[in-house]
Every structure is written in structure tokens, then in C-alpha cells.
Amino acid sequence: MRVNSVRPRRPRIKLGSDSYQALWRKVLERDGWRCQECGRANELQVHHVRFRSALGDDDMENLITLCSDSHRTAHGESVSNRS
């Protein structure tokens, strides 16, 4: 008899609004208020390395600071030339 060894899903960490804002700020501080891809210090956003849609958690290990252009690139979107 063959037993399927499917692992049970672990609960996904998804924070409420206030908790997420506090975590967002900690990520920006950890990353020195700089895009971790290009070094820009403006238009910063927090990116889920493993997307929420792929069951990515809201935790420090899964979040990184990116500028808006690098964030769009990370999601496969084209970035227009900046003036």
C-alpha cells in the first residue's frame, strides 16, 4: 500500500492593518530606507518575496524594501523611462 505523504498546510501569517503598518516600518528601517535592488531612497514600497497569492506570509523574512520601479519589475510589469 502506498501512502501519499502530503504535508498539512501551515497557517499563513496575515496581519491586520495596524500591525502590518508597524511591520512595514520595521522592514523599511531594517533595509536602511533604501531600495534593496537599486539603492533609491524615494517611492519606497514593501514587497512580498513570496507573493501573498502564493501563500507568502506577512513576516520580516518574506518582506523587502523596493522602489516603485523595482517593485513593478518584480511583478513582471514594464517600467517607463524616468525623467
In a domain, 59, yes or no: yes
The answer to whether residues 35 and 65 touch, using CB atoms and an 8 Å cutoff, is yes
The answer to whether residues 48 and 56 touch, using CB atoms and an 8 Å cutoff, is yes
In a domain, 39, yes or no: yes
In a domain, 48, yes or no: yes
In a domain, 51, yes or no: yes
The pLDDT tens digits of the residues spanning 19-76 come to 888 999 999 999 999 999 999 999 999 999 988 777 778 889 999 999 999 999 998 8
In a domain, 71, yes or no: yes
In a domain, 22, yes or no: no
In a domain, 25, yes or no: no
Rounded to two decimals, what is the model's pTM?
A: 0.71
Name the residue range of residue 64's domain: 34-77
Task: Output DSSP code: residue 10.
Answer: P
In a domain, 83, yes or no: no
Number of domains in the chain: 1
Residue closest to 74 by CA, chosen among 56, 41, 44, 51: 51
| Residues 6 or more apart in contact with residue 48 via CB below 8 angstroms | 56, 58, 62, 63
Instruction: Pinpoint the alpha helices (H) of 3-64.
Output: 17-30
Cβ burial, residue 65 (10 Å; 0-12/13-18/19+): buried
